[in-house]
Amino acid sequence: MTARDHVWLFWEWDEDCYLADDLLSRAAARHIRAKTFPIEAIRSLSRDALVANPPIILWDRAGDAYDEARHLADWAEALGSRVINPVRGMLLAKNKGILHRLLLQRDLPVPHTQFLNDASALEEFHASNGKYLVLKPVRSGGGEGVRMQQWCEGCLREAMQSRPGETWLLQEYIEAATMAGRRAWFRVFYLFGDVRICWWDNRTHIYDFMPCAEVNRLGFHDLCMLGIRIGATLPMQFFSTEIAYREDGKPVIVDYINDPCDLRCKTRIPNGVPPELLDWIFGRLFDLALALTPQSGSFPAPATNV
């Protein structure tokens, strides 16, 4: 009987080709059986082949855009694979309204928010939301449709009318505190019950990795706990969230869930993720795949690109 592959990666975004290559090279160095499938290979992958050898972990970065990948990921999960992230998690991540209510129910700190379904309802929110506002469409990702501006009823009407029938979140604007000499705005990455933290400036989108020792030294334990609590709330294995500290020193979850995460490395683009973060992601992924692998005397085959 052929040993199960440790990790499969489904991908469709052209820029993920670098992530796929990195996965394969790192997997080979650790004797991990890995395969990567661009969308063309996903379309030719039969259900029978999946049933015959489901991976220990399937990392699906194509199912949000292609039904073929989503359906195969569903089958893999039914066959016992750990899927990052299953379709129920992906769909939930795209609905900020449901996420907002879930986080509120669990007493997690989120910005003061009003839901708008009709541009004619804007007048009643003028007094309660202050000078600056953040307007977000409920169903969007990657900052799509988000507006940050001074109160201007005409501008908000125009933004809402650009997406007819959309529900919108009208949120307070968060002014970040200064801590350790920096704006206290962060990206917290969650993967299989563990978290890592990056300084992240929402104006420049520049990351800086924060080692665990620095988290402890600076007292940012709230960020770790909030990341873990969000992860425990959702049927997702990997995501990032934006958390800022208000000027009163209290943390607030500014942008709830980012999935799939942009994992282009800082060595390729200035606002890419730090290489230390990728080291952690791959290490965590491979460690779990090995821990979940049934004991076998067979030596792993080399990692291969499909």
Q: What is the pLDDT of residues 229-257, one digit of tens each?
A: 999 999 999 999 999 999 999 999 999 99
Q: What angle do CA 181, 190, 72 make, to 5 degrees?
A: 145
Comparing 23-37, 259-273, 282-296, which segment has the lowest mean pLDDT? Answer: 282-296
Question: Does 67 lie in the same domain as 127?
Answer: no
Same domain (yes/no): 219, 290: no
Would you call 86 helix, strand, or coil by DSSP?
Answer: coil
Residue 304 reports pLDDT greater than 60: no
97 lies in some domain: no
For 14-54, the pLDDT digits (tens) are 999 999 999 999 999 999 999 999 999 999 999 999 999 99
Whether residues 32 and 69 fall in one domain: yes
Say yes or no: 184 and 250 in one domain: yes
DSSP code for 125: G
State the pTM of this model: 0.89
β-pair partners for 7 = 34, 57
- From 131, 147, 172, the end of a domain falls on 172
pLDDT of residue 157: 73
How many Cβ atoms sit within 10 Å of the Cβ of residue 270? 9
Segment among 18-22, 128-132, 172-176, 256-260 with least mean pLDDT:
128-132
CATH number at residue 134: 3.30.1490.20
91 inside domain: no
Number of domains in the chain: 3
The reply to whether 146 and 182 lie within a common domain is: no
What's the average model confidence in pLDDT over 150-171?
Answer: 72
**Residue 90 resides in a domain:** no
pLDDT recorded at residue 93: 87
In a domain, 306, yes or no: no
Q: What is the CATH number of the domain that holds 293?
A: 3.40.50
Q: Would you state the structure tokens that stand for residue 234, as one six-digit string? A: 């959702």
pLDDT of the residue at 32: 97
Residues 124 and 209 in one domain: no
Residue 170 has pLDDT above 90, yes or no: no
Based on the fold, state whether residues 130 and 211 are members of the same structural domain. Answer: no
pLDDT score of 150: 60
The model's pLDDT over 73-116, given as tens digits with 9 standing for 90+, comes to: 999 999 999 999 999 998 888 888 899 999 999 999 999 888 87
Neighbours of 281 (CB within 10 A): 22
Domain check: are 182 and 166 in the same one? no
User: What's the confidence (pLDDT) of residue 131?
Assistant: 58
What is the Cα–Cα distance from 38 to 43, expressed in whole angstroms?
9
Contact 286, 7 (CB under 8 A): yes
Considering the domain boundaries, does residue 140 fall inside one?
A: yes
* Range of the structural domain that residue 26 is part of: 7-85+282-297
Which pair of tokens denotes residue 44? 């030719």
User: Is pLDDT of 141 > 60?
Assistant: no
Q: Is residue 105 part of a domain?
A: no
Instruction: Please tell me whether residues 167 and 180 are part of one structural domain.
Output: no
Long-range contacts of 176-184 (CB under 8 A, 24+ apart): 176/244, 176/245, 176/246, 176/247, 177/244, 177/245, 177/246, 177/247, 177/248, 177/249, 179/218, 179/245, 180/218, 184/244, 184/245
- Confirm whether 129 is domain-assigned: yes
Shared domain for 211 and 292, answered yes or no, is no
Q: How far is residue 124's CA from residue 113's CA, in Å, rounded to a whole number? A: 13
Q: 163 and 130 in one domain?
A: yes
Chain centroid to CA 304:
26
Residue 162 lies in a domain: yes
Decide if 84 contacts 59 (C-beta within 8 A): yes
